[in-house]
Amino acid sequence: MSRNADVAIIGAGTAGLTAFRQVRQITTNVVLINDGPYGTTCARVGCMPSKVLIEVAKKFARRKHFEQFGIQGSDYLTINRQQVMQHIRNLRDWFVARVMDSVDKIGEKNISGRARFIEPQVLEVNGEKIYAQKVVIATGSRPVVPPDWYSFGEQVITTDQFFELADLPDSIAIIGLGAIGSEIGQSLARLGVKVIGIEQQTQVCGLTDPAVNQIAINEFSQEFELWLGTSAQLSKTDSGQIKVTTTDGRSITVDKVLAALGRRPNIDNLGLEVFGLDLSQGLNQLINPNTMQLGDLPLFVAGDVASLRPILHEVADEGAIAGYNAARATVTAFKRRVPFRIAFTDPQIIIVGATFAELAGQNIVIGERSFVVQGRTKVMARTHGHLRIYADRHSGQLLGSEMMIPDGEYVGHFLALAMEKAMTVRDIMLTPFYHPTVMEGLENALSAIVAQLEGEASGLSLRKM
């Protein structure tokens, strides 16, 4: 059995489905091959169920402020953990069903099975050969789990299993405090789980600015125990619990461990060896991030498997670029968006544009603002957080920002657009800043930069007519 295709797409996640939509605009001779459960990582076990957990935990945590608002009786509020997990699954199912609507429309062009190259431009799926002019590899990633941790069975879980839990454990060690560990760790602590967060670095959530990182550590420490700069080993206790021992000599016994150590690309068993590629530096080193082409091969790589920017809007962009190029005779380069990451902790952690670390050695000015004493956060009883913005000292152009602030997602989007438009701090200050808003804190940080660039008597932030 065999068939020919102009384009074969491997993987029906967000990247693969976006690529499919692009290719379909040019040719109907396309196949989409997916192994394993449909519904995308984002909807099934990623962005969406984790955001539901965070939302519930955030709502429950607000009860601690009710008394000061004059809202009484918050001591009587309790959490039904099984119902929380069921609620997450109910919404998860709704998100997955929406994805499945678009998958179902693909019909016979959609093949369920594991794809593998047997020759360049020849894939094998379920014993069938597919001769493809071009191939988009969009096979995603999977959680990193040290091999010896599998022996702990269901006591060591990843986000692939977490949302299936019928109930929450009484105690959990979260190992790795990137976005996954920080978001889930804080949420579980808020739902009454005893959480210990362990991170081998001294930074959390990818923050590189020491001032903002310290704020994040302080915030998390108020809600759960943190062990930073150390990595963990696991062993079983006589009572069947897990003993977590760290390289700096500390130990704790917990019911479960969440491995949140990062994710690795799904490239094994794809048969990439038929191309004779040198993968020793990683597949991502061979991918052009503007065309998503792999070297000069008729192959395009998109999404988490590319390990370039493994977050959803970037994954979708990569799928669109890969699909666009795979369907055409010539390859077009596309400018990527301003880097932008949000961790949905509370307050949210945002990194937008160049990071503090990336700007090391450059001539920058920094504007900053604490949100501990700020009108809007005082009104909201959310007096937490810190914002730092970086601008070029010579041109005044905004270069980047790291922050942990309430409702930071909106500030982050606003700054991303300003950077996309290569705006200076002066340009940005021409926007109205409404009172009283969180955005006024940004205005203060921008003013601090203007004062450094132009002196304290820097005039009005209005254009002369």
Least gap, CB of 344 to ligand NAD (angstroms): 5
- Residues 172-191: x/- map of binding to ligand FAD (CB under 6 A)? --------x-----------
Least gap, CB of 136 to ligand FAD (angstroms): 11
Q: Kindly report the three-state secondary structure assignment for every residue of the chain.
A: CEEEEEEEEECCCHHHHHHHHHHHCCCCCEEEEECCCCCCHHHHHCHHHHHHHHHHHHHHHCHHHHHHHCCCCHHHCCCCHHHHHHHHHHHHHHHHHHHHHHHHCCHHHEEECCEEEEECCEEEECCEEEEEEEEEECCCEEECCCHHHHHHHHHEECHHHHCCCCCCCCEEEEECCCHHHHHHHHHHHHCCCEEEEEECCCCCCCCCCHHHHHHHHHHHHCCCEEEECCCEEEEECCCCCEEEEECCCCEEEECEEEECCCEEECCCCCCHHHHCCCCCCCHHHHECCCCCEECCCCEEECHHHHCCCCCHHHHHHHHHHHHHHHCCCCCCCCCCCCCEEEECCCCEEEEEECCCCCCCCCCEEEEEEECCCCHHHHHHCCCCCEEEEEEECCCCEEEEEEEEECCHHHHHHHHHHHHHCCCEHHHHCCCCCCCCCCHHHHHHHHHHHHHHHHCCCCCCCCCCC
Select the span of 187-195, 200-208, 295-303, 398-406 touching ligand NAD (CB under 6 A). 200-208
Is residue 444 close enough to count as binding ligand NAD by CB under 6 A? Answer: no
Is residue 263 close enough to count as binding ligand NAD by CB under 6 A? Answer: yes
The smaller minimum CB distance to ligand FAD, of residues 139 and 370, is found at 139
Select the span of 85-93, 138-146, 228-236, 441-449 touching ligand FAD (CB under 6 A). 138-146
Which one of ligand NAD, ligand FAD, none is in contact with 200 (Cβ closer than 5 to 8 A by kind)? Answer: ligand NAD
Which one of ligand NAD, ligand FAD, none is in contact with 181 (Cβ closer than 5 to 8 A by kind)? Answer: ligand NAD
Pick one of 16, 39, 169, 310: the residue that binds ligand NAD (CB under 6 A).
Answer: 310
The reply to whether 187 sits in an annotated binding site is: no
Is residue 46 close enough to count as binding ligand FAD by CB under 6 A? Answer: yes
Pick one of 8, 9, 14, 220: the residue that binds ligand FAD (CB under 6 A).
Answer: 14
Is residue 139 close enough to count as binding ligand FAD by CB under 6 A? Answer: yes
Beta strands 110-112; 30-34: pairing state: parallel
Pick one of 23, 88, 138, 254: the residue that binds ligand FAD (CB under 6 A).
Answer: 138
The closest residue (CB) to ligand NAD is 178
The closest residue (CB) to ligand FAD is 13
The catalytic position among 65, 313, 394, 435 is 435
The smaller minimum CB distance to ligand NAD, of residues 141 and 370, is found at 141
**Cis omega (within 30 of 0) on the bond before 169?**
no
Interacting residues with ligand NAD between 147 and 176 (CB under 6 A): 175-176
| Rounded Cα–Cα distance for residues 212 and 204 (Å) | 10
CB 390 within 8 A of CB 356: yes
Interacting residues with ligand NAD between 314 and 373 (CB under 6 A): 341-344
CB 287 within 8 A of CB 294: yes
Interacting residues with ligand FAD between 201 and 240 (CB under 6 A): none
Least gap, CB of 361 to ligand FAD (angstroms): 30
Is residue 307 close enough to count as binding ligand FAD by CB under 6 A? Answer: no
Least gap, CB of 28 to ligand NAD (angstroms): 34
Please say if 435 is a catalytic residue.
Answer: yes
Residue ranges for the known binding site for NAD(+) are: 176-183, 199, 262
Give the binding site for ligand FAD (CB under 6 A): 10-16, 33-36, 40-42, 46-47, 50, 114-115, 138-140, 159, 180, 266, 270, 303-304, 310-312, 315, 344
Give the binding site for ligand NAD (CB under 6 A): 175-181, 183, 198-201, 206, 231-232, 260-263, 310-311, 341-344
